[in-house]
Structure 1
Amino acid sequence: MATETESKQAKADESSDYEYRTLMSLLGVSVSKHLLDEHYTVIWANDFYYQLIGWTKEEYETRFHNHCDLYYKTDPEEWNLLVNTVTKALETKQEGYQLVSPIRRKNGERIWVKFSTAFADEYVNGYQVAYSVLTNIDDFVRMQKEQSVTYDNLPGFVAKFRVENGGFEFLEANGRFRDFFGSDGQECLPYGLTNYDTEKNRATFRQNLPLMEKGEPVHFTLQSKDPSGKDMWMQVNAECIDWVDQSPIYLVIYIDITDITEQRELQKQLEERSKLLNEALQAAEKANKSKSDFLSRMSHDIRTPMNAIMGMTAIASSHIDDKERIQDCLSKIEVSSKLLLSLINEVLDMSKIESGRITMADEEFSLSDILQSMITIIHPSVLEKQHTFDIHAYQLKHENVIGDPQRIEQVFLNILSNAIKYTPHKGKIVLDIKEKPSNRDGYGYYEFIFKDNGYGMTPEFVKKIFLPFERAEDDNIHTIQGTGLGMAISQNIVRMMGGDIQVSSSYGQGSVFTVTMYLKLQEEKEFDLKIKAVAPVLVVDDDQISCETTCQRLEELGLDSQWALSGEEAIKMAASAHQESLDYQAIIIDLKMPGMDGIETARQIRKRIGKHIPIILLSAYDWTEYEASAKAAGVDGFVVKPMLRSSLAYALKRYVLKETKEPVDQSRSKLRKGIHTGKRLLLVEDNDLNREIAVEILQRTGALVDIARNGQEAVDMFQAALEDTYSLIFMDIQMPVMGGIEATRIIRNLKRADAKKVPIIAMTANVFTEDIAESKAAGMNEHLAKPLDLEQIYQIMEQYLCDVGQQSKE
């Protein structure tokens, strides 16, 4: 029989697996987990995987036994391509692979998909595990084919050439070109751009080739031979449309001008038309390339919060018996999940981003919470590139403000993620926060300065950094992924808040982004530490600015302080004070210091003064990997930089006064538990997993929950129930049999008193402006977006269930 520990671990693994599956289902993309065996066996896949291939999970398992080789049995070429790609990636020790290939759906239709697969350091039954994301790019491939048809129907002969090594390499051409010159590519043009060698043609080449090697547009006339051997004269218009490996790619259009009597008029018209045509082609190719690149660049931005989610999940699993650590991990997972959701929402609603129609929230929050959430998300990336990251807070008197914390955090993360990406390894990144004098009553004026010593930007790129899809063209950074949207979105958000964002940069030396904004102030609470200033607090940090700002915070709390810039100096000061029986009240030590780090400093201080003085370790990073060694060295606790007044007060209360920490948000949760006992709700949801989540959330309030699996069931249940049975209805929008919009209209038109007044809340993944307008027009009171936000749900319930007289909003 399994031991109790094994049983707990099994439950923990089951819980983690459930959270992982839930997250993958909510992402809205096809995600699957495979064994790298001879079948590429599917271990797990979310609903969108089966929607993509057209088979249900049950059908797929019954017919193919989760074996991909059986699924590809009728498409051996695609299967061999997939196997060869995976094999090559494994043999060359790559982290994964990408592949574009068609797959066959259940109905026989073949669609094009993009495989983005990562190999995991995980083995099942001796086989390595791989995680795959399948993206449907069928529309994009069809668009390329349509563009090819358009290309073939352009007037005249059209071809593409690469200019290199003093000549021309034929790349591709339309049908008219091939019919005239032949279809053998380079062999059909033995004399450069034509099939006829004359001194005049050679002179024309000698004159124009240097210009084309520079990528300049050219226009000239060449003599050719038609298929019957007859002389022809061609007006050639060539425009550089791309550069590959430092070689220009030219689009060349040939126009037959053999009829000399019409040559002048034709030449004038054709030059104008060819110029417009080339400009149109360039614009179309640039737009298509930007959108295509956007999909691949998104990978990094999605992986940043995903990395935090998976990392915190792993930490939670390894501390399953530590309630406080689990609570901390869950809080950080929630923060990262919200960031991931906001990114997906912005990508899906491009029109909203480009037009700046983003709604700003008005919530109470603490700047300290934003900074700690931000540190949690960027921490893995900072560690990966071995950067130094410091945060300095100057004269920050008001930490608690009112605004849109998620949008502010989004702006800061956009800037910081760029600083991390575009700064070489072991770089330095600094965030300075300043509260400056405000000329608006009730508002604080804040300045956030982000500095790095990275690659920097050219003056030309600085001018267009806030334009959508723009990325710097630089050999140093061409391999770095990015969407090209972050700074455009950030500028929109900051300006909607009435603030501003400025950038200055020196190429090769680094960049400085300055964000200024007004934030409404909350009513500040007085800090009552109940600590007598019997002795100063010692602050130890190699960064003098950090020492000074921390000492300022201590002074604001009524405590004296001293500081040291190294571990060695701190040891001497602590030992000297101890010998004179004037021990410090507490010692705050930075974790990362050159020479002797914070842990070793704490160990040496403990040897000299004993265990009675609280030692607090200070870090701008997550301390998980250092926790065991730090506690063994005698460290009492940990605090995250920057040392804002609230976090410093909390640390002193906990580690000096030994006050216990209150669980995060528990007070609010206790108030809600059982608050709606006796109320009956109707939940209308067709998806089993979403229904399970919603029922759990709603039942925590004490409410009774009845379930309908589609709109028709909801209508039938409402009609069969006595009047006023249901106090609230949560309604999904897209459902089989009958959708939520139609069901709401029917309920509102029923001949009974409660049909008009029962609150109906949309609970749906349809989140666009037009979706919200449609649900309101149908008679719904509110519109909640999936994934579900507990706070928002509870606020809605308190609003409608605590107001008996609430009527339907027109």
Structure 2
Amino acid sequence: MGLFGSHEKRDADRARRLFEEALAQQGPNVALVLRANDCLPLYITPNFERIFGVSPERIGDDIETLYRFIPDSDRIRMQRQVRDWDRATPLNLLCSYHAPHGEKSQLSMRFTISLISGGTQYLVSAVDVTTENERIAKADSERDRAVETANARTDYMNQMSHEIRTPLNGIEGMISLAREHHADESRLMDDLSRASQLSAYLLSLINDMLDMSRLNSGRVRIDGAPFDMRLFADEIERMFSSQAADKGLTYSVNLEDCENVFVVGDRMRLSQIVINFISNAVKFTERGGSVTVTLREMYQADGGVSYMLRVRDTGKGMDPRYVSKIFKPFEQEDRTIARRYGGTGLGMAITSALVELMDGEIVVDTEPGRGSTFSAYIPLRLATAAQIESLKLKEQTLETACDSIGSSFTYQFEDKRFLLAEDNEINAMIVIELLARRGAAVDRAENGQAVVERFRSMPAGTYDAILMDIQMPVLNGWEAAERIRGLNREDAGAIPIIALSANDYTEDVERSRAAGMNGHVGKPIDLNVLKAQLAAATAEAAYRGNE
């Protein structure tokens, strides 16, 4: 008996030692064995104090000490769950725990209580789920952001669908009315005028959409070329003077402290920024108000200069709390804005992205009923003496541009003969008809290869200019232009070639220039722009001929 008793004792001690080792190896987990009838702790893992910040002796004296560091709401809930526990299955409890000291002052704990040893003991395991909960919270936050992004994208597409369909519906309606009014010339012209306005709005909307898409994908490049800030200001003033006058607004553009007017930067994108500011200012300012544009040199350093482009209006203003949202697509202060004032809600988002690309900053000062001031601070480079001289030779300074601008509109289509490269029947018909009505003759080639062959087969001097579509079969417009420039004939290098393209981005214009073209006109074609480009190309050819 003694021998067997000794074996039983050794087996029990070994079993207890293995049990304690298993509990001790739980890592960050904590375990307690409690006597079931009075909850007296029989065993506590060594890591208890490190996790909970309370000594095992203190728990041994009063198990209720654990409850004191649990928030009231959690404690009451846990006590009710323990009271209602059926003891048949493990009980899981979640709570926050405010440790009096330790690595973390507040923990998220999961307690699991199981009945063991034939119902005489409780095994209580406690797991610190703080990190796990933080991961879950982070995942939830990322999910919420993803859902918000998806919802925003859906809202964006719904808004775009509405914005596109609205002018399309109007254009279709105006065309239908024009058919009805074909015998009434005044009403017919009014219908066509309204259709044209809607078409212009639709084009601006599509351009904004494409700009926004390119900006989001990182495909917009900020270029640098020398320009005269005075001429820039003059163009901005002329651009909005009629619109402001029609609305009864006082409109002015001022240059202040501008010692360095010849700068290097992306003039087109700078113009886009200021135009978006002015468009909003004119839109939200009632008759009798004012819109003031200020271009001011702020400081000069290290071959660069900082310019402030500011637009101040006396319009409706807005709640300053809303300012952080206006640079997001389609964000407007309230739902009545679009209905009352129009607009797509993309202009300011585009403006913000462009200013950021230029390493600039936008500052907004606004108050309901007291107007708004939008200021963009943009770093530019100073033009060199050689660049300034080049601007003068090209008549692109304030002093020389007046004659250049005026002469561009002296170009006449009458008695001119053009070679048109256009594969689209409708586009070709439109160009041929528009130029024919202005006294010009137009020969058409259906693709890039055909235009090269047509030009090669005709005597020198047959055509006054080539109007070249870009996206064509066989050879595209750029390839065709390069082939023409490479022909061994006297007019191959001198004939003006103007690109006609639906793509009118900076890189497209540059590629047209690199291919040997004299100009690049975007579609839909503005005849005044085409006329100006033809005039410039003709003057350039004449200048080279006299050299």
* TM-score, reference length from structure 1: 0.37
* Structure 1 equivalent of residue 316 of structure 2: 451
Instruction: Compute the displacement of 1:768 (Å).
Output: 2.8
Instruction: Compute the displacement of 1:708 (Å).
Output: 0.7
Letter in 2 for 1:341: L
* Structure 1 equivalent of residue 487 of structure 2: 750
Question: Matches of 2:166 and 2:245 in 1, distance apart?
Answer: 16
Letter in 2 for 1:488: A
Letter in 2 for 1:767: D
**Size of the alignment, in residue pairs?**
370
Counterpart among 367, 387, 393 of residue 504 in structure 1: 367
Counterpart among 337, 349, 353 of residue 488 in structure 1: 349
Question: Matches of 1:516 and 1:745 in 2, distance apart?
Answer: 45
Instruction: Compute the displacement of 1:327 (Å).
Output: 4.8
Q: Structure 2 vs 1, CA of residues 297 and 447 (structure 1 numbering), >3 Å: closer, same or farther? A: same
Report matched runs for 1:635-650 at 5 Å. none
Instruction: Compute the displacement of 1:517 (Å).
Output: 9.0
1:343 maps onto 2:208 in alignment: no
Q: Structure 2 vs 1, CA of residues 748 and 372 (structure 1 numbering), >3 Å: closer, same or farther? A: same
Question: Matches of 1:335 and 1:277 in 2, distance apart?
Answer: 48
Q: Structure 2 vs 1, CA of residues 358 and 702 (structure 1 numbering), >3 Å: closer, same or farther? A: farther
1:689 maps onto 2:426 in alignment: yes
Contact 1:346/1:353 (8 A) holds in 2 = no
Question: Matches of 1:692 and 1:345 in 2, distance apart?
Answer: 24
Instruction: Compute the displacement of 1:705 (Å).
Output: 1.3
Contact 2:413/2:435 (8 A) holds in 1 = no
Report matched runs for 1:719-758 at 5 Å. 719-758=456-495
SS of 1:755's equivalent?
coil
Question: Matches of 1:477 and 1:747 in 2, distance apart?
Answer: 52
Instruction: Compute the displacement of 1:291 (Å).
Output: 2.8
With 697-706 and 708-717 compared, the bigger mean Cα shift is at 697-706
Contact 1:683/1:705 (8 A) holds in 2 = yes
Question: Matches of 2:109 and 2:281 in 1, distance apart?
Answer: 49
Deviations along 1:524-545, one digit per CA (max 9) or x if unpaired, are xxxxxxxxxxxxxxxxxxxxxx
Question: Matches of 1:477 and 1:690 in 2, distance apart?
Answer: 36
1:705 maps onto 2:442 in alignment: yes
Contact 2:467/2:500 (8 A) holds in 1 = yes
Q: Structure 2 vs 1, CA of residues 488 and 504 (structure 1 numbering), >3 Å: closer, same or farther? A: farther
State which structure, 1 or 2, has the greater radius of gyration over its C-alpha atoms: 2
More helix as a share of residues: 2
Question: Matches of 1:439 and 1:778 in 2, distance apart?
Answer: 36
* Structure 2 equivalent of residue 433 of structure 1: 289
Identical positions, percent: 32
1:370 maps onto 2:243 in alignment: yes
What is the alpha-carbon root mean square deviation over aligned residues?
5.5
Instruction: Compute the displacement of 1:731 (Å).
Output: 1.2
Instruction: Compute the displacement of 1:318 (Å).
Output: 6.1
Question: Matches of 1:694 and 1:366 in 2, distance apart?
Answer: 26
Question: Matches of 1:796 and 1:476 in 2, distance apart?
Answer: 42
SS of 2:533's equivalent?
helix
Question: Matches of 1:407 and 1:770 in 2, distance apart?
Answer: 19
Report which structure shows greater RCO (CA 8 Å, sep ≥6): 2
* Long gaps (5+) in structure 1: 1-190, 209-217, 225-259, 374-390, 420-428, 506-510, 519-667
Instruction: Compute the displacement of 1:300 (Å).
Output: 4.0
Contact 1:300/1:482 (8 A) holds in 2 = no
Deviations along 1:474-520, one digit per CA (max 9) or x if unpaired, are 99999999965344346679999999764324xxxxx66425799xx
Q: Structure 2 vs 1, CA of residues 475 and 680 (structure 1 numbering), >3 Å: closer, same or farther? A: closer
* Structure 2 equivalent of residue 245 of structure 1: none
* Long gaps (5+) in structure 2: 1-80, 82-86, 98-106, 114-124, 224-231, 254-267, 297-309, 377-406
Instruction: Compute the displacement of 1:470 (Å).
Output: 6.9
Letter in 2 for 1:737: V
Deviations along 1:375-413, one digit per CA (max 9) or x if unpaired, are xxxxxxxxxxxxxxxx6646x799xxxx99998776566
Deviations along 1:446-473, one digit per CA (max 9) or x if unpaired, are 8533328xxx75x64x141233237479
Q: Structure 2 vs 1, CA of residues 286 and 768 (structure 1 numbering), >3 Å: closer, same or farther? A: farther
Question: Matches of 1:726 and 1:475 in 2, distance apart?
Answer: 55
Letter in 2 for 1:514: S
Instruction: Compute the displacement of 1:437 (Å).
Output: 11
Counterpart among 327, 335, 357 of residue 467 in structure 1: 327
Question: Matches of 1:392 and 1:478 in 2, distance apart?
Answer: 22
Report matched runs for 1:346-745 at 5 Å. 346-350=208-212, 362=235, 365=238, 367=240, 369-370=242-243, 393=249, 430-434=286-290, 447-451=312-316, 460=321, 462-469=322-329, 471=331, 485-489=346-350, 502-505=365-368, 513-515=371-373, 675-745=412-482
Counterpart among 503, 506, 513 of residue 766 in structure 1: 503
Q: Structure 2 vs 1, CA of residues 289 and 199 (structure 1 numbering), >3 Å: closer, same or farther? A: same
SS of 1:707's equivalent?
strand
* Structure 2 equivalent of residue 71 of structure 1: none
Question: Matches of 2:145 and 2:362 in 1, distance apart?
Answer: 33
1:204 maps onto 2:69 in alignment: no
SS of 1:723's equivalent?
coil
Contact 2:366/2:372 (8 A) holds in 1 = yes
Contact 2:327/2:352 (8 A) holds in 1 = no
Question: Matches of 1:221 and 1:448 in 2, distance apart?
Answer: 60
Deviations along 1:409-442, one digit per CA (max 9) or x if unpaired, are 765665788x7xxxxxxxxx945422779898xx
Letter in 1 for 2:94: T
